[in-house]
Structure 1
Amino acid sequence: LSFFRVPKSVEDKLVHLQRRFLWGGGPDQNKIAWVSWKSVCLPKEKGGLGLKDIKSFNTALLGKWEWNLMHHKGELWAKVL
């Protein structure tokens, strides 16, 4: 999840697993989501459950790599990449 963009199919599957775990139910059951997914992904300090939004998290990690590459060009690991 940190160096490459997650393919859309993998991202969708991860979100599906998160939601199914949180709200329960089987593959043929639909449960009611009592709160929005956006609320669930809020930090605990702001009233959410602190779950990570996979797409936003992957974008943030990619940005972190890009920033590190720009600021550490002379280091060995940056030259290897």
Structure 2
Amino acid sequence: MVSRQEQFDQGPAMASLRSTTIRTRKATQEARSRWQQQRKDRAGPQERPIKHVPPPEPKLLEVFPNRPPPEVLPPPKGVEVDPKPR
């Protein structure tokens, strides 16, 4: 005796569904490859990822050339300073 599931799997409905699935998958792959090709064509030969290079950080003296080094500056008002440096 054949179960209902096996009957369905071998029946015309399943065969139709299978062929539809295969056709759909094939059409999707074709569309995807066409789309990728169009993107390549539009982008032209210069499609190369641009590497992000962070700019070099400016040294404090470059930003404030006339400012004395931090050891020479007096402490800000309201800040207590340890008498002996660490």
TM-score with structure 2 setting the length: 0.34
Q: Which has the higher contact order (CA 8 A, sep 6+)?
A: 1
> Where is the helix percentage greater, Structure 1 or Structure 2?
1
Task: Select the structure of larger CA radius of gyration.
Answer: 2
Give the structure-1-normalised TM-score.
0.35
